[in-house]
């Protein structure tokens, strides 16, 4: 796994994904021990679905990302 993909010296390139990884770690990974890599992959997959479909976000007017996108395109 690579930790960063931004240009050297430009932290703003990665701000949104760094925020996501922070939430992933504090809301899922640190709270659930995994016995092997398959369990980690399962936890990450579960969290991505949760993050996009069930986790409301203040910056999206207290909506879920999927809901926000559907409203924006309607």
Residue at 15 is within a domain = no
Q: Is 45 part of a structural domain of the chain?
A: yes
Q: How many domains does the chain have?
A: 1
Tell me whether residue 23 is in a domain: no
Structure tokens at 30: 């640190």
Is 20 inside a domain boundary? no
- Which of left, alpha, beta for 34 (phi over 0: left; psi -120 to 50: alpha)? beta
What would the pLDDT profile of 30-73 be if each residue is shown by its tens digit? Answer: 999 999 999 999 999 999 999 888 887 788 888 888 888 888 88
Question: For the whole model, what pTM was predicted?
Answer: 0.67
Is 42 within the bounds of a domain?
yes
- Give the residue numbers spanning the domain of 59: 35-74
CA dist., res. 63 & res. 52, Å (int): 10
30 part of a folded domain: no
Contact 7, 15 (CB under 8 A): no
- Residue 24 domain flag: no
């Amino acid at each position: 796994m690579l930790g960063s993909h931004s240009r050297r010296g430009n932290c703003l390139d990665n701000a949104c994904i760094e925020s996501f990884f922070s939430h992933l770690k504090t809301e899922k990974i640190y709270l659930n021990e995994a016995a092997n890599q398959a369990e980690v992959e399962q936890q990450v997959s579960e969290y991505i679905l949760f993050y996009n479909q069930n986790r409301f976000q203040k910056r999206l007017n207290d909506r879920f990302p999927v809901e926000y996108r559907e409203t924006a395109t309607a």
